[in-house]
Amino acid sequence: MERLSVEKIIHKIENEEFFEAVSSDYSFTIKIEEYVPYVCGAVHDGNQFRKELWDNCIHTAYERWFEEDPETKEMVKMHPIIIAGLDSRFEYDLNRAPETAIYTDAWGKQLWRNELPKSQKDKSLAKHANFYKVVHALITKLEEKFGVCVVYDMHSYNWKRWDREVPIWNLGTSNIDNNRFGEEAESWRRVLEKMQLPNGIKSTSKINDTFQGNGYFLKFITQNFNNTLVLATEIAKVYCDELTQTMFPEVVQAVEKYLRIELKKHAENFYKKHKA
């Protein structure tokens, strides 16, 4: 892995180079082992929280972890194109638009003891902007090369906070072109439903049950590109104990092994159907 500026990352993408890099400010990683018409994204995988914010933050490290999406990059690690955030969403949220990316409160609790100075906000928003410069360059290249593209937008959610039965997998499709891509969303839901998981977990999947797919990552790509489908894919946090912060690596591994094969198949079928 190299440490590269955003400009150098974009240059490599434009020249179709293979590389793995961390951004020069250590805010995100990107890997391109092969240029293929699909991408895996994990914008909430990270939990870095820069030191100048520590004393001003009311939320504990555990409370921040509780709302993040750990291991979502790990679940798709073997795919050829991966882009993932390294910073906590409590510093800035890559799945929100710039104007709302810096929280004032989070899940009903005030986040900061004192209002953040403009200099600290600007530092966070610069990271947000740089990430999306790279996303734009990447999808531009893939649409130019293949005509169409599909992005698997990986997230997790806290199923124990719901007071009803919720699915293991939820797909948010309210902001995609369902007339054009609805069949691909449904076929992805069926793929997820067939996953075999350990510890007696039955894989269930629904569309727009717990979340509707309103994230900025999906909206940014959908609004800027006509031929890219983003599948906002949320797994309930059955791969950890939300209350004790204990990870279940056997569940994470089972998800990764299944998606290694089935996600690739789904992407290949998408391309065969929608390529020009």
Does residue 276 carry a pLDDT above 80? no
Which tokens belong to 46?
């990270």
Using an 8 Å Cβ cutoff, are 5 and 12 in contact? no
pLDDT, residue 275, reads: 87
- Predicted structure pTM score: 0.97
- Give the domain ranges of the chain: 2-274
Phi, psi for 217 (deg, rounded to 5): -55, -50
pLDDT at 107: 85
CATH assignment, 2-274: 3.40.630.40
Report the candidate in 222, 134, 131 with the shortest Cα–Cα distance to residue 172.
222
Structure tokens at 144: 């130019």
Note the pLDDT tens digit of each residue in 54-112.
999 999 999 999 999 999 999 999 999 999 999 999 999 999 999 999 999 988 889 99
Write down the pLDDT at residue 160: 84
Q: How far apart are CA 162 and CA 239, in angstroms?
A: 17
Token pair 């900025």: residue: 216
Span 173-182, average pLDDT: 96
Range 147-165 average pLDDT = 94
Positive or negative, the CA dihedral 166, 241, 237, 110 is: positive
d(CA 22, CA 7): 12
Q: What is the DSSP string of the chain?
A: -EEE-HHHHHHHHHTT--EEEEETTSSEEEEESS--SEEEEETT---B--GGGTTTB-S-HHHHHHHS-TTTTGGGTTSSEEEEE-B-TTT--TTS-GGGSS-SEETTEE-BSSPPPHHHHHHHHHHHHHHHHHHHHHHHHHHHHHS-EEEEEEEEE-GGG-SS---SEEEE-TTS-HHHHHHHHHHHHHHHHT-B-STTPBP-EEESSS-----HHHHHHHHH-SSEEEEEEEEESTTEETTTTEE-HHHHHHHHHHHHHHHHHHHHHHHHHH--
Residue 240 backbone dihedrals phi, psi, to 5 degrees: -160, 170
pLDDT of 161: 86
Report how far residue 78's alpha carbon sits from residue 33's, in angstroms, rounded to the nearest whole number.
10
Q: With 90 as the cut, is the pLDDT of residue 179 above it?
A: yes
Does the CA dihedral 166-169-175-178 come out positive or negative? negative
